[in-house]
Structure 1
Amino acid sequence: MQSVAIQNPDMAWSIAADIRFPPGFDENKTYPTIVSVHPFGSCKEQTSGNVYGQGLAEQGFVVIAYDASFQGASGGSPRWIEDPTQRVEDISRVIDYAVTLPYVDADRIGVIGVCGGGGYAVNATLTEKRIKAVVSITGVNIGRLFREGFSSYDPLGALNAMAAQRTAEARGGALQVNELLPASPDAARAAGLTERDVFEATDYYKTPRGQEPGGATRMLFSHAQKTLAWDAFAFAETLLTQPVMVVVGQKVGAFGAYRDGMKAYGRAVASKDRRLVSLADWSHYDLYDRPEPVALAMAELAPFFRTHL
């Protein structure tokens, strides 16, 4: 693995990335390459890098897992901004970097994303035609989630609160950084937060199972307005022409990955090859790192990428 800082001419900050290489890597050869996109509130050292990134590298791909702008080890200020437009643009900027590497085959680039990263990966593929195939792992349409559960089903109220907070910060007030999860599984139980996705997210992000310094699970509240007007799958019926695979778990949780996955698959009618992998007995966060469901997903997505890259 090689850690790099990606600097684009149009960026005032760099994107931190880890490049994972296949066994027997030869820098004089060219390889199919996959950009791996981390979940909302996550980082490259978690499921996008150490699970799916590593697994795909072992299958013969060069994989670039990176931290989103304003998050993890990447630059950008203020910190912990979750801006879908920026998240999608980051994918193109990582591809800009990838195509300059002599061992990357620019005609064989794919993208994979997990959770919110799955929604961003699909959205990027609508307009970024350097992407030749896309896989969404338990992907979430973050715009839909913000309009619903994350705003307590009051998106206009959330927007007004964000507007007031942004004005306060512009006048010198303290930033409002929202912590997205309880501090521990015990704290979740004590607060009665035992809904499947909330509790399993806490078990992943707030325990040694998945906890990493860059996975902050925080969001700058005042800069999240545009998220509520964003749709990961807008125009998919027309623009999503590349091969697409959607992987979902059938144990449904409040974050809505199963619902969003079915919608992404259903709207991908223009795709050259659309595939749905629906795994019984597994949940959203099982697909982050649990060996059995990850193996089931890898058994489908690795051949899919080999076929199209």
Structure 2
Amino acid sequence: MEKITFRNSDMLWDISALVLYPPNFNPSQKYPLIVSVHPFGSCKEQTSGAVYGKALAEAGYVVIAHDASFQGESGGFPRYVEEPAQRVEDVSRVIDYAVTLPYVDADRIGGIGICGGGAYIINAALTEKRLKAVVGITPVNLGRLFREGFSQFQPITALESMAAQRTLEARGEELQVNELLPPGPEAAVKLGLTERDVSEATDYYKTPRGQQPGGATKMLFSHAQKILSWDAFAFAETLMTQPVMAVIGNKVGAFGAYRDGMEIYGRSVVSKDRQLVELNDWSHYDLYDKSEPVALAIARVTPFFEAHLA
């Protein structure tokens, strides 16, 4: 594994990434590439790199797991911006960098993402046809989630609040950076935040299980407006031509990965190979790092990529 930074000719800031190499890597050979996209509020050192990136590198792929712009160790200011269009553009910029590497086969590029990253890599594939196959691990359509649960089903009220806050900040007031999770599992219980996804997210992000310095579960509130008008799966019926797989656990939580995985499978009617993998008795955050469900997922993901990136 190697940590890198890169900046393509049209970029204004650096992207930080981990490059994970297959066993017995030989830079004079050509390898298929996987772009691995981290969840909302995550970073490259967590599940996208340390779990799925590592497993796919061991299976023979070069994997690039990057930090999103404005997040982790990547550049961009202000910090903690979650902007779907930028997240999708980051995927193309990683590919732009990767195709300059002599050991990457530009005709064999796939993508994988977890949670919000799963929806981002699927959305990227709608227009980024250098991606030959994509996998969403417990994919969450962040636009749908913000319009529903995160705004308490009041998206217009949320947008008006964001607008007012952005005006204050433009006039010199302090930026409003929202922490998205309680500080730890005990605090979550005291606050009554016991819903499955919230509780398990806290256990992953706020304990040594998954906690990383770059995985700041924060969001700049005033710059989140465009999330609410975004749909990860818009035009999938027409544009999702590549093979696509959604892996979901059937222990359902409030963030909606189960329904979103079902939705993209149902809408990908022109895909060359659409697959839905439903794992019994596992939840959204189980699929981040728990050995048994991850092994079940990888057992389906690896032959899928082998079939389409061979």
Shorter-normalised TM range: over 0.9
Find the counterpart in structure 1 of residue 302 from structure 2.
302
Find the counterpart in structure 2 of residue 182 from structure 1.
182
Find the counterpart in structure 2 of residue 227 from structure 1.
227
Q: Secondary structure at the match of 2:260?
A: helix
Unaligned runs of 5+ in 1: none
- Size of the aligned set, in residue pairs, is 309
Find the counterpart in structure 1 of residue 90 from structure 2.
90
Find the counterpart in structure 2 of residue 58 from structure 1.
58
Q: Secondary structure at the match of 1:44?
A: coil
Find the counterpart in structure 2 of residue 71 from structure 1.
71
Deviation at residue 111 of structure 1 after TM alignment: 0.4
Find the counterpart in structure 2 of residue 10 from structure 1.
10
Write the distance in 2 (CA, Å) between the matches of 1:285 and 1:241: 29
Q: Secondary structure at the match of 2:288?
A: helix
Find the counterpart in structure 2 of residue 107 from structure 1.
107
Cα deviation 1:183-242 (Å, max 9, x = unaligned): 000000000000000000000000000000000000000000000000000000000000
Q: Secondary structure at the match of 2:10?
A: coil
Unaligned runs of 5+ in 2: none
Deviation at residue 279 of structure 1 after TM alignment: 0.2
Find the counterpart in structure 2 of residue 256 from structure 1.
256
Write the distance in 2 (CA, Å) between the matches of 1:8 and 1:227: 25
Find the counterpart in structure 1 of residue 21 from structure 2.
21
Deviation at residue 11 of structure 1 after TM alignment: 1.4
Amino acid across the alignment from 2:159: L
Q: Secondary structure at the match of 1:245?
A: strand
The alignment status of 1:132 with 2:145, answered yes or no, reads no
Amino acid across the alignment from 1:59: A
Structure 1 runs of 4+ with >6 Å offset: none
Write the distance in 1 (CA, Å) between the matches of 2:152 and 2:24: 50
Q: Secondary structure at the match of 1:254?
A: coil
Q: TM-score, normalised by structure 2?
A: 0.99
Find the counterpart in structure 2 of residue 197 from structure 1.
197
* Alignment RMSD (CA, Å): 0.4
The alignment status of 1:293 with 2:286, answered yes or no, reads no
Find the counterpart in structure 2 of residue 280 from structure 1.
280
Write the distance in 1 (CA, Å) between the matches of 2:8 and 2:28: 25
Deviation at residue 270 of structure 1 after TM alignment: 0.5
Write the distance in 2 (CA, Å) between the matches of 1:6 and 1:57: 21
The alignment status of 1:237 with 2:209, answered yes or no, reads no
Write the distance in 1 (CA, Å) between the matches of 2:305 and 2:274: 12
Deviation at residue 126 of structure 1 after TM alignment: 0.2
Deviation at residue 6 of structure 1 after TM alignment: 1.5
Q: Secondary structure at the match of 1:247?
A: strand
Write the distance in 2 (CA, Å) between the matches of 1:121 and 1:20: 18
Q: Secondary structure at the match of 2:17?
A: strand
Write the distance in 2 (CA, Å) between the matches of 1:74 and 1:40: 15
Find the counterpart in structure 2 of residue 141 from structure 1.
141
Identical-pair percentage? 73
Find the counterpart in structure 1 of residue 218 from structure 2.
218
The alignment status of 1:38 with 2:38, answered yes or no, reads yes
Write the distance in 2 (CA, Å) between the matches of 1:96 and 1:12: 15
Amino acid across the alignment from 1:113: G
Amino acid across the alignment from 1:226: K
The alignment status of 1:155 with 2:155, answered yes or no, reads yes
Q: Secondary structure at the match of 1:29?
A: coil
Q: Secondary structure at the match of 1:197?
A: helix
Amino acid across the alignment from 1:256: G
Amino acid across the alignment from 2:52: Y
Cα deviation 1:58-112 (Å, max 9, x = unaligned): 0000000000000000000000000000000000000000000000000000000
Write the distance in 2 (CA, Å) between the matches of 1:264 and 1:214: 30
Amino acid across the alignment from 2:279: L
Q: Secondary structure at the match of 2:109?
A: strand
Write the distance in 2 (CA, Å) between the matches of 1:60 and 1:9: 30
The alignment status of 1:172 with 2:147, answered yes or no, reads no
Write the distance in 1 (CA, Å) between the matches of 2:72 and 2:213: 8
Amino acid across the alignment from 1:95: I
Q: Secondary structure at the match of 1:250?
A: strand
Q: Secondary structure at the match of 2:54?
A: helix
Deviation at residue 152 of structure 1 after TM alignment: 1.1
Q: Secondary structure at the match of 1:94?
A: helix
Deviation at residue 302 of structure 1 after TM alignment: 0.5
Q: Secondary structure at the match of 1:279?
A: strand
Q: Secondary structure at the match of 2:306?
A: helix
Write the distance in 2 (CA, Å) between the matches of 1:176 and 1:155: 18
Amino acid across the alignment from 1:235: F
